[in-house]
Amino acid sequence: MVGAILGGLLVVLVVGPLARLLWEAPPGTIAEAALDPEVRDAVALTILTASAATVIAVLLGIPLGYLLARARFPGSRFLSGLLDLPVVIPHPVAGIALMLFLGRHSAIGGVLAKLGLEIVNHVPGIVAAMLFVSAPLVVSGAREAFASVDPKLERVARTLGDSPWGAFRRISLPLATRGILAGALLAWGRSVSEFGAIVILTYHPRVASVLIYDRFTLSGLPAAVPAAALLLLVALGVFLLIRVLGPSERVHR
């Protein structure tokens, strides 16, 4: 009984603010926000860049997660902890670090600029900031998912003639898909919600979080609520869609 009460308090703490936000934004004001070109462009840019950052994180994070789950080498635990660091450091600090690392006056940023790829105050900068804060979630999810797959299954596949890549593709990857999908979903949500690193690295063009903050600081809470509610509904819709289309517990088992 006590556990149910404590759990209920946490549910209220999480769901209550979201419900209040939607309550303060009637459907008419959300529709107006959706028709506002500035809001529409910011939300579209947010979805596009968050999706790009998530795809990159998945492509790079799956091999790394598999390596950390299977290989044992000196410093593997330290590397795992180091990769989780962007989750816990203040995100304005992340934005400053990224600017120093990828800015035009840095070694890497200078090379990228000569190749025509500008980072600071350009769309790639938004993707870089989102990727920095969200990739650890994909790596962690993939690592835990692969660790839950019995290595004996891969060895059996190898004895039946599969190559290492074939055993990975036919055995480990399908069994770890649900964990990887969960990590990718969290990474996408983290990318959509990012503000601190983006506002330092790429203030313009503005993503939804930066636009909402601008409207709040310049015009007050009533001006920011409709756009905030719209972004919440978009994120909720994507989460529900992935939950519906994703593999079920029964199929996974």
pLDDT tens digits for 60-107? 999 999 999 888 778 778 888 888 888 888 989 999 999 999 988 898
Determine the Cα–Cα distance for residues 170 and 103; give it in Å rounded to an integer.
42
Determine the Cα–Cα distance for residues 102 and 119; give it in Å rounded to an integer.
7
209, 198 contact by CB (below 8 A): yes
Q: What is the largest CA-CA distance in the chain?
A: 67
The reported pTM is 0.86
Average pLDDT, the chain: 87
Question: What pLDDT shows up at residue 194?
Answer: 92
Q: Is the peptide bond before 17 cis (omega within 30 degrees of 0)?
A: no
Question: What pLDDT shows up at residue 235?
Answer: 81
Task: Identify the DSSP state of 248.
Answer: P
pLDDT reading at 249 higher than 80: no
Summarize the confidence of residues 22-40 as an average pLDDT: 86
Percent of the chain with pLDDT over 70: 95
Determine the Cα–Cα distance for residues 44 and 207; give it in Å rounded to an integer.
8
User: Which amino acid, 208?
Assistant: A
C-alpha torsion angle, residues 210, 214, 215, 216 (rounded to 10): 100
Question: What pLDDT shows up at residue 195?
Answer: 92
Summarize the confidence of residues 22-38 as an average pLDDT: 86
Give the pair of three-digit tokens for residue 222.
């009533």
Question: What pLDDT shows up at residue 47?
Answer: 92
In 3D, which of 3, 19, 1, 29 has the Cα closest to residue 230?
29
Give residue-wise pLDDT tens across range 164-200: 788 888 888 888 998 898 899 889 989 998 999 999 9
Q: Domain 30-252 falls in which CATH fold? A: MetI-like fold (1.10.3720)
Determine the Cα–Cα distance for residues 86 and 80; give it in Å rounded to an integer.
12
Question: What is the Cα 48 distance to its own chain's centre?
Answer: 12
